[in-house]
A and B are shown apart, each in its own frame.
Chain A
């Protein structure tokens, strides 16, 4: 077997799922920290500075490409694995008692992932496309002075719509469950299972999944109800 053999093997494929998943988790952390700048409640001044930096710094823009590659790998690999797994059981059971041996969300990663992907398309359309591919949002002081929208004002506008807020909150619930399984699963996949540390990793995973999802969900809620102006 060569290196391509590793990537085609069942373990290689799950290592790719885990590694890209872990990478996407680090992205969530960065994204969440920048977004939390809205809670300065200073009319978006600090947040806009953060958004501008993320939008213009070449290193960040380069990382953005890696991020998309990671995301696509994660999604494509999930599809490949799901199709293979279906083939592994051509005749389904008449009666399955999955609850007896595993959590529903660990068995529903594909469904939760699909929901998150659908949200992601909406979310990218709302903000990423607006800021990168239209002249709608200002990228520097001059454009701002010329009266162009800022990322912050764009957020306020988007989250005026209660349906959008609801979609965002539901998506963050999906994210929370996806991470509840995904976070600790990464460590198992990479072979890091230890009697002393695994219980800690599992607890950290639960805390991380809930905290990050609640923080993200709190942003559209805070803007919609005017806690942040």
Chain B
């Protein structure tokens, strides 16, 4: 790693500090000198935290797990955009080479009433779990594993469902949306199952229950700005929201109650 393209830059990090859910937070400014452009954004935070620990101060709390762009934990709103200035990457896949010497970088947690701040940059995304629990599954009889390809699925459908299933539930769509809407997430989860024969059986109940739970959680309403799609690190398409709208309208009309 490294090579000839590596540079050392100085940046100023303005980071949100908040002790807990109930206390009011504030910005804290740190000068970061000699940051390698080969560092990932989270590694830059690791360096900052080592320094804070050495100084006997409280390190900045932030969520991270896989650091390879697939777990969806690293929720940082960087310079006015979820996951920072690059498209189709998570914060852990963002590198300091995307910034210039002398930059001031503002880092905030996701802002949504449905994602309360736990500490600093850590938000609780249990609302997403509750939406999944409301219907984001296929009911099956457990027992012996079924043969693969028991049900034949055409490649285009399989691809479409897979694209929807690429959602890692990071919440960038909610963070990016000016209305704090979770429709891109919910629509991806509705679509990945609705597109497949196994999921079609419960499709109507699923969309009703998941949208109902989404509304209970206090997410905002979609106004089709497309900000979610543009900021999604996994490129989840707005087509999924249209599919969910469609499914929801038909499911509501079909309801027997």
* Residues of A bordering B, CB below 8 Å: 1-3, 5-6, 9-15, 81, 84-85, 87-98, 100-103, 106-107, 109, 181, 185, 188-193, 195
Contact = CB atoms under 8 A, between A and B. Distances in A.
Q: Which 3 A-B pairs have the closest CB atoms?
A: A191-B246, A97-B80, A193-B242
A11 B247 CA distance: 10
Contact of A3 (B81, B221, B223, B252): B252
Interface stretch (B53-61, B110-118, B161-169): B110-118
B243 A106 contact: no
B220 interface: yes
Given A15-B245, A90-B113, A10 B223 contact: no
B210 to A, nearest CB: 11
18 contacts: A6-B252, A11-B244, A11-B249, A14-B222, A84-B221, A90-B113, A96-B80, A97-B79, A101-B226, A101-B227, A102-B178, A106-B224, A181-B224, A185-B224, A191-B246, A192-B242, A192-B246, A195-B239
B179 A101 contact: no
Contact of A88 (B180, B225, B227): B180
Interface in B71-125: 77, 79-81, 85, 106, 108, 111-114
B238 interface: yes
Given A1-B208, A101-B81, A89 B220 contact: yes
Contacts of A181: 224-225
Nearest to B217: A88
Contacts of A84: 220-221
B239 A193 contact: yes
B169 to A, nearest CB: 18
B38 interface: no
B225 A107 contact: yes
A5 B207 CA distance: 13
Contact of A101 (B231, B243, B244): B231
Given A85-B221, A88-B113, A1 B226 contact: no
Given A90-B113, A100-B80, A188-B242, A106 B180 contact: no
A114 B244 CA distance: 29
Contacts of A1: 208, 212, 252, 255, 257
A106 B225 contact: yes
B183 to A, nearest CB: 8
B223 A88 contact: no
Contacts of A195: 239
Contacts of B113: 87-90
Most buried by B among A9, A91, A185: A91
A10 B80 contact: no
A42 B85 CA distance: 59
Contacts of B241: 188, 193
A9 B214 CA distance: 10
B238 A188 contact: yes
Contacts of A185: 223-224
B164 to A, nearest CB: 13
Contacts of A97: 79-81
Given A1-B208, A85-B223, 4 more contacts: A12-B252, A14-B223, A93-B80, A102-B227
A229 B136 CA distance: 65
Contacts of A107: 178, 225, 227
B248 interface: yes
B230 A100 contact: yes
Contacts of A96: 80
B199 interface: no
Contacts of B183: 10
Contacts of A98: 80, 178, 227
B203 interface: no
A102 B79 CA distance: 16
A93 B108 contact: yes
Contacts of A81: 179, 221, 223
A10 B222 contact: yes
Contacts of B239: 193, 195
Contacts of A12: 252
